Amino acid sequence: MLDKFSRSVVAADSSGKFVEDLEGLKGFISDGNKRLDAVNFIASNASCIVSDAVAGMCCESEGLTAPGGGVYTTRKMAACLRDGDIVLRYISYAVLAGDASVLNDRCLNGLKETYAALGVPAGNAARAVGIMKAAAVAFVNNTASQRKMTVTEQSGACNALASEVAGYFDAVVNAIS
Ligand SMILES: CCC1=C(C)/C(=C/C2=NC(=C\c3[nH]c(/C=C4\NC(=O)[C@H](C)[C@H]4CC)c(C)c3CCC(=O)O)/C(CCC(=O)O)=C2C)NC1=O
């Protein structure tokens, strides 16, 4: 498999020219830098994003922590936090690649059935993912007021990726709903 750089070189060589698609390659690097920044925003704040979402979910739905609730017992709470972490990690892979196939195949495939079999409440799980989405989008736009970050690209350059990121969270909600 050839990467975008190798392909440009092969194309130029086959017509005996210098590499001409430099603007295209610059765009490719700039897009890659934005993706790295976006993933960095998410990964550096992952534990904050996950714990805030699970806490918010619990506050909105108190029965969850009561006997019989979805996160009653520390074992279930730990599994829930871990699931939030897993989902966020697979979304970060999708953001990096610009492609959701790894997220779909390795994380979401069968998750709805797993949750149904275990009695994990899907509506609450979807709500936690929704809170993670709001937080992740704020981080990608670098508008999280308490946590401004220094980035490779110009400030605001990742905004174009925010809707793509939001779409991956929506895909998770759709898969488990
Ligand atoms: C490949 C990637 C991957 C995924 C996606 C995954 C999910 C996953 N979550 C599980 C359990 C679980 N998931 C939750 C999650 C929650 N409970 C709630 O009330 C909330 C709504 C929610 C958190 C937001 C809980 C509580 C369990 C344990 C359920 C039980 O054992 O009773 C299980 C069953 C096995 C286990 O407990 O470890 C799997 C396989 N595992 C993986 O390896």
For residue 131, CA distances in Å to 51, 74, 121, 137 come to 10, 21, 16, 10
Residue 77 CA, ligand 1 centroid: distance in Å:
9
DSSP symbol at 104: I
Domain ranges (residues) in the chain: 34-176
CATH number of the structural domain 34-176: 1.10.490.20
Number of C-beta neighbours around residue 119 at 10 A: 9
Centre of ligand 1 to C-alpha 95, Å, is 23
Does residue 55 have its Cβ closer than 6 Å to ligand 1?
Answer: no
For residue 42, the number of C-alpha atoms closer than 13 Å in the C-beta half-sphere is 30
Q: What average pLDDT does the structure give for the chain?
A: 92
pLDDT computed for residue 152 by the predictor? 64
Q: How many CA atoms lie within 13 A of 83 on its CB side?
A: 25
**Nearest CA among 52, 77, 76 for reference residue 127:** 52
Residue 115 is predicted with a pLDDT of: 98
Residue ID of nearest Cα to ligand 1 atom 9: 83
Instruction: HSE, CB side, 13 Å, CA atoms: give it for residue 108.
Output: 22
User: Does ligand 1 have an atom closer than 6 angstroms to the CB of 116?
Assistant: no
Ligand 1 lined by 48 (C-beta under 6 Å):
no
Can you tell me which residue has the tokens 């909600």?
Answer: 173
Q: What's the pLDDT tens digit per position in 79-115?
A: 999 999 999 999 999 999 999 999 999 999 999 999 9
pLDDT for position 54: 98
Model pTM score: 0.90
Q: Token pair of 31, please?
A: 């897009």
Instruction: Note the pLDDT tens digit of each residue in 10-45.
Output: 888 898 888 888 998 898 888 888 899 999 999 999
